[in-house]
Every structure is written in structure tokens, then in C-alpha cells.
Amino acid sequence: MTIEKVKALLAEAGLLDRLHEFDESTATVDLAAAALGVDPDQIAKTLGFYHGEGAVLVVAAGKRRVDNRKFKDQFGCKARMLSGEDTERLTGNAAGGVCPFLVPPEAEVWLDVSLRDHDTVYPAAGSAHSGIALSCAELESLAKPAGWCDVCKPLEAQA
């Protein structure tokens, strides 16, 4: 997917003015947070995992780590991250710029409850040089997730 498709969707939703594009990379949580000038936990990272013949994409707050037991209970399989090659093939985006909306049908999107800790979150917008400011409700509207999940460890349990 190109950022141009995301721009078209955002324009249609009246949200194009919230898109940020950068010369520098925003491919990691820390890089994105620095470029946007926000707390790293506000970055809505999209994590890709193998699930059957396709993928499950979990959008989570930037500082959160997946809890393997919770993941297995939710999705019925071990949490195995997608390879770089499979990320692009199954999501339409290269690793570091996976956008949680406009994904192909073989990639099922889930939003983790960790996002609800923030009024505004910043997912990638289809490139490793972008981010968009959204409320959780706006993210949900654009991503059209299969649902909300709770598969991340609490921040205090990650030390």
C-alpha cells in the first residue's frame, strides 16, 4: 500500500490535516515519538503475527509488550512475529510503516486496550516516514478492527 491510498482515505474522512510526514524515519516507536514530539506510549504500533494462513495485526500502545499467555488465550496460537518479507506480503506495508487500516482481508486487525490510556494515538500512515494523530474512536472507525483485545502486559509489569 502506498501512503497515497491512506491520504485519500483520510481526505474522505476529513482527517488529512492530522497526517504528519517526515524526512527522517519513524520506523520505530522511539523514532516516531521523537519526530512527533510525543510520549512513546502514544505511538500506536502495529504488530504483525502469524495466524493460520494469514496474519493478526495487534495495534498497541508504543511501550507495551505482548503477553504470550494472553495472546495465546485470545488467538489460539503462539505469538510469532511476521518476518519482514511476510509483513509486506500480508499487510501491504513494509515493516516500520504498517498502517492499521486499508489492510488486505488476510490480515485481521485488533486494537489492544492499552491504546485507551491515551486521548490521542499516532499510528503509521503507510510509510516509515509518517504518523497520524487520531482518537481511539477515530482509529477504530478507520481500522474497522475485528474487535478490542487485551494481550499486552501492563507497563508496571514490564520492568
Residue 132 · residue 123 · CB < 8 Å: yes
- Element (H or E) spanning 10, and its range? helix 3-12
**DSSP letters along 39-67, please?**
-GGGEEEEEEEEETTEEEEEEEETT--B-
Supply the pLDDT for residue 24.
Answer: 95
Q: 54: domain range? A: 3-157
Which pLDDT does position 94 carry in this prediction?
86
What is the domain-level CATH number for residue 150? Answer: 3.90.960.10
Range 8-29 burial, b when 16+ CB lie within 10 A, else e: ebbeeeebeebbbebeeebbeb
State pTM to two decimals: 0.95
What does each of the 159 residues of the chain score in pLDDT, given as a tens digit? Answer: 578 899 999 999 999 999 999 999 999 999 999 999 999 999 999 999 999 999 999 999 999 999 999 999 999 999 999 998 999 999 988 888 899 999 999 899 999 999 999 999 999 998 999 999 999 999 999 999 999 999 999 887 776
Whether the CA torsion 107, 151, 135, 140 is positive or negative: it is positive
Helix (H, G, I), strand (E, B) or coil at 115: helix
Q: Please count the structural domains in the chain.
A: 1
Structure confidence at residue 1 (pLDDT): 55
Q: Which three cell numbers stand for residue 32?
A: 516516531
The residue with cell 509488550 is 65
State phi, psi for 71 to the nearest 5 degrees: -60, -50
